[in-house]
């Protein structure tokens, strides 16, 4: 089952319990990012239940808990592509967390941080 043309429920659901409560508005924005990027995007983490969020060290107020966030794999990208993808994420999402191997994107309050 697809939540958006290029994203399945299986890749967005919580690996702990299988629940998938992603917000439609988030999935629409993620799909718009995919369209602008023009390449596939691998999701490392989408929806999280409280148990899984705690297990991975997520914040109690994490947007993952609300189905309003995803961590996107960038480990395979060149440094130039990482920069381009980051800029695209910043144009689509309000919450951006950047590490060397993934970018956290959400539609919560406007903020940016690095890991």
Provide the pLDDT confidence category of residue 1 given band limits of 50, 70 and 90.
Answer: confident
60-75 pLDDT, tens digit per residue, is 999 999 999 999 999 9
Q: Which of 43, 44, 41 is nearest to 32 (CA)?
A: 41
d(CA 108, CA 101): 22
CATH code of the domain containing 16 = 3.30.1380.10
Across the range 83-97, mean pLDDT stands at: 98
Could you tell me the pTM of the whole model? 0.96
For the chain, the domain total comes to 1
d(CA 79, CA 44): 19
Domain of residue 37, residue span: 2-114
């Amino acid at each position: 089952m697809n939540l958006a043309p290029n994203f399945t429920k299986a890749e967005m659901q919580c690996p702990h319990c299988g629940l998938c409560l992603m917000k439609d508005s988030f999935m629409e924005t993620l799909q718009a990012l995919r369209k602008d990027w023009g390449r596939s995007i691998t999701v490392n983490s989408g929806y999280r239940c409280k148990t899984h969020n705690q297990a991975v060290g997520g914040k109690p107020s994490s947007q993952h808990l609300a189905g309003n966030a995803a961590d996107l794999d960038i480990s395979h990208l060149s440094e130039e592509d990482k920069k381009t993808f980051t800029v695209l994420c910043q144009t689509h999402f309000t919450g951006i967390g950047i590490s060397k191997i993934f970018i956290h994107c959400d539609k919560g309050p406007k903020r940016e941080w690095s890991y």
